[in-house]
């Protein structure tokens, strides 16, 4: 009986920890986990410039990024399932622009919005097949979804697919 109560209590307890580097960085904002929970992207202040930083949560190490050392300020990072793709909003001249870095190939994909519009927030689908952008439209916020299947290879989540087959909820 007592053991049962203790197990029940333990199952409701969540463990809280500070993200690696939190005590060393001046600030960390805009967290984005990879789908598999192994990587964390944040926006850190690097010499006054908001810059995206990627960290391996298993060993705490900062992972190298080829295409996010300039074009600050960066905002709204988002990762695919395995962290192969990192998307974020950057600044090119006077224009806000979504770019996606493929960490496997080292390629960068600049993705300008038609009509010269500026993205404000973004979310990359776990398999990297779609991108949702928040934009301003006639004085209101609007979300537009784009198909990336002709641009990026999918970042599959095979382990999830197995678990989902038995647990995914219907609408």
Question: What does the chain come to in residues?
Answer: 171
CB-nearer residue toward other proteins: 2 or 162: 162
* φ, ψ dihedrals at 11, nearest 5°: -70, -15
Nearest distance from C-beta of residue 6 to other proteins, angstroms: 14
Instruction: Decide if 116 contacts 126 (C-beta within 8 A).
Output: no
Note the residues at the interface with other proteins (CB under 8 A). Answer: 10-19, 22, 26-37, 40, 42, 57, 81, 109-114, 120-127, 130-134, 137, 140-148, 150-151, 157, 160, 163-164, 167-169, 171
Instruction: Decide if 52 contacts 86 (C-beta within 8 A).
Output: yes
CB-nearer residue toward other proteins: 52 or 133: 133
Q: In the numeric block, which tokens belong to residue 132?
A: 């949702």
CB-nearer residue toward other proteins: 34 or 51: 34
Strand partners of residue 145: 132
CB-nearer residue toward other proteins: 103 or 119: 119
d(CA 51, CA 21): 15
Nearest distance from C-beta of residue 79 to other proteins, angstroms: 9
């Amino acid at each position: 009986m007592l053991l049962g109560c203790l197990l029940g209590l333990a199952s409701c307890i969540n463990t809280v920890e500070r993200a690696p580097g939190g005590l060393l960085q001046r600030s960390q904002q805009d967290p984005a986990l990879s789908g598999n929970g192994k990587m964390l992207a944040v926006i850190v202040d690097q010499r006054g410039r908001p810059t995206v930083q990627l960290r391996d949560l298993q060993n705490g190490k900062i992972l190298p990024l080829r295409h996010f050392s300039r074009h600050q300020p960066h905002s709204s990072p988002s990762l695919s399932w395995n962290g192969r793709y990192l998307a974020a909003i950057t600044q090119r001249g006077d224009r806000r622009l979504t770019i996606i870095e493929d960490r496997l190939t080292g390629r960068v994909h600049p993705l300008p919005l038609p009509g010269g519009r500026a993205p404000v927030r973004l979310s990359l689908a776990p398999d990297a097949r779609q991108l949702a952008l928040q934009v301003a439209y006639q004085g209101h916020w609007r979300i537009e979804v784009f198909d990336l299947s002709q641009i990026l290879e999918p970042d599959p989540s095979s382990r999830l697919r197995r678990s989902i087959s038995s647990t995914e909820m219907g609408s």
